[in-house]
Amino acid sequence: MYRINNNYLKLENNYLFSKIAEEKQNYLRNNPEKELIDLSIGDVTLPLVSSVQKGIKNGLELLSCNSTFSGYPPASGHDFLKNKILNVDYKNIPIDLDELFISDSSKGDITHILDILDNNLNVAIQDPVYPVYVDSNIIRGNNIIFYDSIEEIIEKKLDVDIIYICNPNNPTGKLLPRETLEKIVSYALNYNILIFYDSAYEAFIQDKNAIHSIYEIKDAKKVAIEFRSFSKTAGYTPLRLAYTIVPKEISNLNILFKRLKSTKYNGPSYLSEYGIYSVYKDNNLHELKENISYYLKNTQILNDYFYFKGMTNEKEVNSPYVWINVKNDSWDYFYYLLNNFGIVCTPGSGFGKNGKTYIRLTGFNTFENTLKAIDILKKDLK
Ligand code: PLP
């Protein structure tokens, strides 16, 4: 008889986004004359930039011709794109071609990489954070130790096998300074701990002193695996593309990850790759930066307002998110914003216990709607 993986039954029902969508629909049904501004969006909204469009058309032409058609891509992506990523994103950091794995998603890489590690590991995960880290470890039967701030790992000398770092963090938007990351890398080196470094929002970093890759820190290649995604960086959520760096210095993980890729995947979509390749090839990264600046401007407008009200700690934004201390239950505040102002937020409790009295807003709506939301709030937010 078949048996299921009982760990799946331990997963909490993730009703966060479906509940938000349902409440939005209810509001619109009950208030057909009213406008609703959705600041809960955790997805890009601007259309594909022109060099991506051009690249996809080029790729399609190549696939449509006998002499240039190619079938399955290599399991870790094509070298034409790998070379560009290494020469541009890792210009001053020595990474070998076979340490870079292009895939269709960071979510996939972050969850599947656990396959090559043993079960029952002790993993340190921040609260609040991107819920995928938690769920994927529950599925594997790992023991999760939540930390409030990364310094706590060192102060309490947490005995863990893996440390998850999301930098800049989703949902708090918080950016870790180089010194903190140096300390954590050194701790990981001392105690033989693996670091999973997720920098899905790296392209949003504004702080000139901040590091963009964990490998800017000495010896990080001995302990850290880095995940990056084109989803928010290049507006690629509908196309899908991401990459992961697994250094050869970390025991045999690079070889095992290669094995995992060749066993379970047949590589990323050629057209998705070609779209991004075209951006790098034609030196059009500025097109991506323009979209990111647009989202960041919206985020900064929201942040300025809540900073002025003493409800956020960060003055400058380094991500598309604003994490707001509402000093009330986050779902109660969700209904307060929705019913009194027609504004939709994401209740922080969906990201962990520490999010219980916070909400998350994003800069992914339009500039006009973001300004409109602030005008509405200014009138009488408590
Ligand atoms: N990592 C973080 C922190 C995210 O917020 C997200 C998406 O929201 C991802 C990874 C997923 O990336 P991808 O779209 O490449 O699966």
CA–CA dist 187, 205 (Å, integer): 25
CA–CA dist 65, 7 (Å, integer): 48
189 contacts: CB under 8 Å, gap ≥ 6: 219, 222, 223
- The pLDDT value recorded for residue 239 is 97
Are 163 and 188 within 8 A, CB to CB? yes
Ligand 1 mean position, distance from CA 198 (Å) = 8
Half-sphere exposure of 331 (CA within 13 A, CB side): 10
Q: How far is CA 216 from the centre of its chain?
A: 20
Tell me if 106 CB under 6 Å of ligand 1: yes
pTM: 0.97
pLDDT truncated to tens, each residue of the chain (382 aa)? 999 999 999 998 877 888 999 999 999 999 999 999 999 998 999 999 999 999 999 999 999 999 999 999 999 999 999 999 999 999 999 999 999 999 999 999 999 999 999 999 999 999 999 999 999 999 999 999 999 999 999 999 999 999 999 999 999 999 999 999 999 999 999 999 999 999 999 999 999 999 999 999 999 999 999 999 999 999 999 999 999 999 999 989 999 999 999 999 999 999 999 999 999 999 999 999 999 999 999 999 999 999 999 999 989 999 999 999 999 999 999 999 999 999 999 999 999 999 999 999 999 999 999 999 999 999 876 6
Question: Mutation test of ligand 1: which of 104, 130, 272 has the most ligand atoms closer than 8 Å to its C-beta?
Answer: 130
Q: Which of 274, 286, 241 is nearest to 81 (CA)?
A: 274
- Would you say how long the chain is, in residues? 382
- The pLDDT value recorded for residue 376 is 94
- The pLDDT value recorded for residue 242 is 98
Secondary element (H or E) of residue 154:
helix 151-155
Decide: helix, strand or coil at residue 286: helix
Tell me if 130 CB under 6 Å of ligand 1: yes
- The pLDDT value recorded for residue 65 is 98
- Longest Cα pair distance anywhere in the chain, in angstroms? 66
Going along the chain, which residue ranges are E strands? Answer: 37-38, 100-103, 122-126, 143-147, 162-166, 194-198, 224-229, 242-245, 321-325, 343-344, 346-347, 358-362
Ligand 1 mean position, distance from CA 33 (Å) = 35
- The pLDDT value recorded for residue 382 is 65
CA–CA dist 53, 47 (Å, integer): 10
127: left (phi over 0), alpha (psi -120 to 50) or beta: beta
Describe the chain by its helix, strand, coil percentages, rounded to 5: 45, 15, 40
Tell me if 362 CB under 6 Å of ligand 1: no
Smallest CA separation from ligand 1 atom 4, residue: 200
Q: Which amino acid is at 18?
A: S
Ligand 1 atom nearest to CA at 236:
14
Ligand 1 mean position, distance from CA 42 (Å) = 10
Decide: helix, strand or coil at residue 362: strand
